[in-house]
Amino acid sequence: MTVPNIDLAVRTLGPATIDSPLLAMLSDRKASYHWVDETDRVLVDDTLVAATARRVSASELPTYEPGGPRRKIFFGAGARAAIVTCGGLCPGLNDVIRGIVLQLSLHYGVSDIIGYRNGFAGLIGREPMRLTPDVVRDINEIGGTILGSSRGAQDPGAMVDRLVADGISMLFVIGGDGSLRGALAIADVIAARGLTISVVGVPKTIDNDIPYIDRSFGFQTAFGRATESIRAATVEARAAPNGVGLVKLMGRHSGFIACYAALAKNDADFVLIPEIPFRLEGEEGFLAQLRRRVEARGHAVVILAEGAGQELLAGRGSETDASGNARLHDIGLLMQERIAAHFRKAGLEMNLRYVNPSYAIRSIPPNPFDSVYCLRLAHNAVHAAMAGYTAMVVGRWHGRFVHLPIELVVSTRNTVDPDGDLWLSVLEATGQPRAFS
């Protein structure tokens, strides 16, 4: 993915002049291969071809600032922090909340921490929740978010007024694309007013569609849980004459969950994702290909991302949710109708089993891998905020934790590349044609 022409430097509130309480832990780490010193940089490009194609010297290559603790910090133990979770649910939200609270209180001495309830709406006239190590002790064992969430924009000026009134020094925003845009708007108002409030984002999207990071938290849990639904649909399809298992998974604009779940279970015959339009009719269209697969094998399993095939539903009107996102039409309903009609027209019996596990997946706690990832993201978010960084998100890039300006991560969307190795693996695993035309 080519980085756009955006300054990769991360904003700061000013010079960091306070010795970090973690200083003793950092004294001998320069010799470690796995440690990136704060004075070093992390290369954006991970191949020689990409780097040399820029035709610049090594010192001019685009780089990210490394994440991690700093030797000097901006805020002391008397700072007051706030956390807000926004947008749809995702496995790991409570883990991030817990990680931030424990890191602030146990390692930086910041004990005054609050959580705004129900997303950005909580910054407009709602009573916050006091967050302590005791309050967050076991919340990582449950799904969802103890702070609640919501969609929809709020006036950034009014939200900054609330932060000032509450004496907040650091705001941690856990959310996706729209939430991070809101965080950037808050940071811009803070800068315009000359205030010293840090705004740090922890990027969250179950669809894994935030760009310029290796993955978003909760994604591995999501596609892992999705494989259980694929297994159920496969068993049902195999047990019925001419059985078709149709599994609709999350993925409004990006088909990563559908692709990874298909590869993890490796029982799917077809995977349909938003990035690749497809035709239903015709001898090389999807319906004919599906019928031939069923005739040859006795059953078939189809994985359908929720945003796939929206071009087939054009003309049905459009609505938006509270955040301004277009409401998707139900491609699952359309596919059920068209598959059944196609088999009837061909004079063939067909037994379709439809599975939609989306909300069951969103609401579960994370698996151990995502739990670790959430905790490490939380640690790095706290390190950044305490050091006075702002208008930024923490993420992992080629195995290294880095700081990224919010402007970068909201500049585009991460999608499955039709010419990339992931989609090639899907084609190899399913045996489906490159296109339904």
- Same-domain check for residues 309 and 162: no
Say if 427 falls within a structural domain. no
| DSSP, residue by residue, 138-149 | TGGGSSS-TT--
Are 401 and 258 within 8 A, CB to CB?
no
177 within a domain of the structure (yes/no): yes
Distance (Å, whole) CA 325 – CA 177: 11
- CA angle at residue 17 from 12 to 22, to 5 degrees? 95
Average pLDDT, the chain: 92
Q: Taking residues 303-313, what's their average pLDDT?
A: 93
**Are 310 and 233 in a shared domain?**
yes
Same domain, residue pair 102 and 145: yes
Residues 6+ apart with CB under 8 A from 326: 318, 319, 320
pLDDT for 369-405, tens place per residue? 999 999 999 999 999 999 999 999 999 999 999 999 9
| Domain match, 170 and 118 both | yes
Identify whether residues 60 and 163 lie together within a single domain.
Answer: yes
Q: In this structure, is residue 153 part of a structural domain? A: yes
78 domain residue, yes or no: yes
Query: Are 106 and 201 members of one domain?
Result: yes
Condensed to tens digits (0 to 9), the pLDDT of residues 232-290 reads 999 999 999 999 999 999 999 999 999 999 999 999 999 999 999 999 999 999 999 99
Same domain? For 315 and 382 the reply is no
Predicted confidence at residue 392, as pLDDT, reads 97
Q: Select from 361, 379, 397 the last residue of a domain.
A: 361
- 323 shares a domain with 269: yes
Q: Are residues 293 and 399 both part of a single domain?
A: no
The domain that holds 120 is classified in CATH as 3.40.50.450
What is the structure's pLDDT at 151?
A: 83
On whether the CB atoms of residues 433 and 241 are closer than 8 A, the answer is no
At residue 324 the predicted structure's pLDDT band, cuts being 50, 70 and 90, is low
pTM of the model: 0.93
Is residue 15 assigned to a domain?
Answer: yes
Mean pLDDT value across residues 56-72:
92
Phi and psi dihedrals of 246, rounded to 5? -120, 115
pLDDT band at 437 (very low <50, low <70, confident <90, very high): confident
Tell me, yes or no, whether 392 and 355 share the same domain.
no
Please say if 138 is a catalytic residue. no
Q: What is the CA radius of gyration of the chain?
A: 24
269 shares a domain with 140:
no
φ/ψ of 268, rounded to 5, equals -75, 145
Residues 345-376: tens digit of each pLDDT: 999 999 999 999 998 999 999 999 999 999 99
Could you list the beta-strand ranges (E) of 165-240.
170-175, 198-203
CA–CA dist 222, 207 (Å, integer): 9
Identify the pLDDT of residue 104.
98
Candidates 95, 112, 177, 207; catalytic one: 207
Question: For the segment 79-128, what is each residue's pLDDT rounded down to a tens digit?
Answer: 999 999 999 999 999 999 999 999 999 999 999 999 999 999 999 988 99
What domain range includes position 234? 219-361
How many structural domains compose the chain? 2
pLDDT at 150 over 60: yes
Please indicate, yes or no, whether residues 236 and 336 belong to a single structural domain of this protein: yes
The pLDDT of 208-224, averaged and rounded, is: 93
CATH number at residue 283: 3.40.50.460
**Domain presence at residue 352:** yes
Question: Which residue type occupies 388?
Answer: G
Asked if the structure places residue 421 within a domain, the reply is no
Is position 387 within any domain?
yes
Q: Name the pairing type of β-strands 170-175 and 112-116.
A: unpaired
Measured CA to CA, the distance from residue 358 to residue 331 in angstroms comes to 14
